[in-house]
Amino acid sequence: MKPQPAQWTIRLLAVLSGGAVAWTAKADTNEILWQEPGICYYCDVNPRLPLAVHVVRVDRAQKDLEFHTALGGGGQIGTATLSEQVKSIPREVGQPVAAINGDYFYVERPFVGDPMNLQILRGGELVSAPGVDRAFLYFDAQGQPHLTNALSAFAVTWPTGKVTPIGLNATPATSSQTVLFTTVAGRTTRIEGVELILERNGSGPWLPLRIGQTLSAKVREVNPKGFSKIPPECMVLSLDPKSVNDFPPLNPGLELKISTATTPHLSGAILAIGGGPSLVREGKARPEQEFHGMRIRDPRSAIGWNARYFYFVQADGRQPRYSMGMTLAELADYFVKLQCDYALNLDGGGSCTTWVGGKIVNSPSQRGWERPSANALVLVRKKKTGS
């Protein structure tokens, strides 16, 4: 059965994290349907189109709220529904209160659910590289949000000085042909080819992998058959089979440099999630003509912010009697009306899902069923110190 936004017929009062939670009965458009300290949810309904837009507003001054990114495979690449991804947030972190689906993703085996863009888990662990010409949201070391694009300069430098571009936790055909794997990819690399099991060399930066670093590695083992196990303390470099003869002799003890640099540099980033395209920059909506090939009304998910608030905005679509969706230009204009300075489009279509206060509040376009996706942006109320 489809959820029916803005048409709840009961009123539930509870206490979570020390704050009152309220679900209202059937409400007029923009009337708050659910709230906790620092966060509220409402559904903006326009019956003339028709259109239903789900909005979660987060007060940036509420210091016990913070964002986390989730992975569809729990701690690994994969796909799962938004409800399942919310459950993957560790209890010791705090209580999830709202979430929205995240980035576009690849569906090619063996890494179904590989995000197309940059993803950094809370605290700084790098799990996916920046995509080509794709915008993303990241938080810097001071916790401030930024909307930007970046070019990956991820590479391995051999003892000869030769530099080879590398992908990260990805199917080789969707990145460069030489790929670095961490345990985020799973227990094994799941692909054929010559692979180098890398261990730490010296006392410099190592795991968890972070953006904007140079790591010193030593080859522990050479595996010519692929499908290497990925030990928790190691990484695996899977080599492009067409270029193996261009590399120096591959023997245990070989020392390498691994770079996770980008342009512009993102060193110190503590969280990131991809999407694209950007919708609003410096308070101005992007011109409609820049949204090439994306001018039809569809389900849309996005995040925006200004100095005071963050907003999850998600428009239901492909449901003629309920909600037709938005064009990207309409979505950008909506964020401008919310007085957002910046806004980023996320994965749309059947992936569009909003979770608030313990349940899905929108009507996903696939007959109301949640579609598994690669990652999510989850708002968590942090656990009180000593509780």
**pLDDT reading at 127 higher than 80:** yes
Q: Please tell me the predicted confidence (pLDDT) of residue 175.
A: 67
DSSP 209: P
| 387 lies in some domain | no
Same domain? For 54 and 81 the reply is yes
User: Where among 230, 260, 290 does a domain terminate?
Assistant: 260
Same domain? For 70 and 88 the reply is yes
| 22 lies in some domain | no
Q: Please tell me the predicted confidence (pLDDT) of residue 383.
A: 86
**pLDDT reading at 7 higher than 70:** no
| 341-370: average pLDDT | 96
**pLDDT reading at 349 higher than 50:** yes
Instruction: Compare 119 and 21 and report the one with higher pLDDT.
Output: 119
Q: Which candidate, 3, 49, 45, 15, places its Cα nearest to that of 27?
A: 45
Mean pLDDT check: name the lowest of 7-21, 34-48, 165-179, 212-226: 7-21
Q: Please tell me the predicted confidence (pLDDT) of residue 253.
A: 98
| 314 lies in some domain | yes
Sign of CA dihedral 75, 183, 272, 176: negative
User: Sheet containing 32-36: which strands, arranged edge to edge?
Assistant: 12-16, 19-23, 32-36, 39-46, 51-59, 309-315, 300-305, 342-345, 278-281, 284-285
User: Where among 243, 260, 277 does a domain terminate?
Assistant: 260
Same domain? For 91 and 203 the reply is no
Q: Are strands 342-345 and 300-305 parallel, antiparallel or unpaired?
A: antiparallel
Alpha-helical (H) ranges within the chain are 82-87, 328-337
Please count the residues of the chain.
387
Same domain? For 139 and 220 the reply is no
Mean pLDDT check: name the lowest of 117-131, 160-174, 268-282, 315-329: 160-174
Count up the domains in the chain and report the number: 2
Q: How far is CA 28 from CA 6, 8, 279, 335, 351, in A?
A: 8, 12, 28, 21, 27
**pLDDT reading at 300 higher than 80:** yes
| 277-294: average pLDDT | 91
pLDDT band (50, 70, 90) for residue 366: confident
| 42 lies in some domain | yes
Q: How far is CA 356 from CA 95, 157, 312, 320, 361, in A?
A: 12, 46, 11, 24, 7
- 21's tokens: 């939670």
| 5 lies in some domain | no
Domain enclosing residue 210, as ranges: 154-260
User: Where among 212, 227, 260 does a domain terminate?
Assistant: 260
Same domain? For 106 and 176 the reply is no
Same domain? For 236 and 284 the reply is no
Could you tell me which residues come within 8 angstroms of residue 64 by beta carbon, excluding any fewer than 6 positions away?
17, 38, 94, 381, 382, 384
**pLDDT reading at 13 higher than 90:** no
Does residue 305 contact residue 298 with C-beta atoms inside 8 Å?
A: no
Q: Please tell me the predicted confidence (pLDDT) of residue 293.
A: 66
| 345 lies in some domain | yes
Q: Please tell me the predicted confidence (pLDDT) of residue 56.
A: 98
Alpha-helical (H) ranges within 124-185 are none
Cα(74)–Cα(351) distance, rounded to whole angstroms? 18
| 8 lies in some domain | no
pLDDT band (50, 70, 90) for residue 386: low
Same domain? For 286 and 377 the reply is yes
Mean pLDDT check: name the lowest of 17-21, 269-273, 372-376: 17-21
Same domain? For 145 and 277 the reply is yes
pTM of the shown model: 0.92
Same domain? For 294 and 326 the reply is yes
Same domain? For 88 and 140 the reply is yes
Please give the backbone phi and psi of residue 331, each rounded to the nearest 5 degrees, phi first.
-65, -40
| 205 lies in some domain | yes
pLDDT band (50, 70, 90) for residue 378: very high
Here the contacts of 11-19 (C-beta below 8 Å, separation 24 or greater) are: 16/95, 16/97, 16/381, 17/64, 17/94, 17/95, 17/97, 17/381, 17/384, 18/384
Same domain? For 252 and 108 the reply is no
**pLDDT reading at 265 higher than 50:** yes
Does residue 114 contact residue 244 with C-beta atoms inside 8 Å?
A: no
| 75-99: average pLDDT | 97
Q: Which candidate, 303, 215, 214, places its Cα nearest to that of 262?
A: 214
pLDDT band (50, 70, 90) for residue 12: very low
Same domain? For 371 and 297 the reply is yes
**Predicted confidence (pLDDT) per residue in 134-173, tens digit:** 999 999 999 999 999 999 999 999 999 999 999 999 988 7
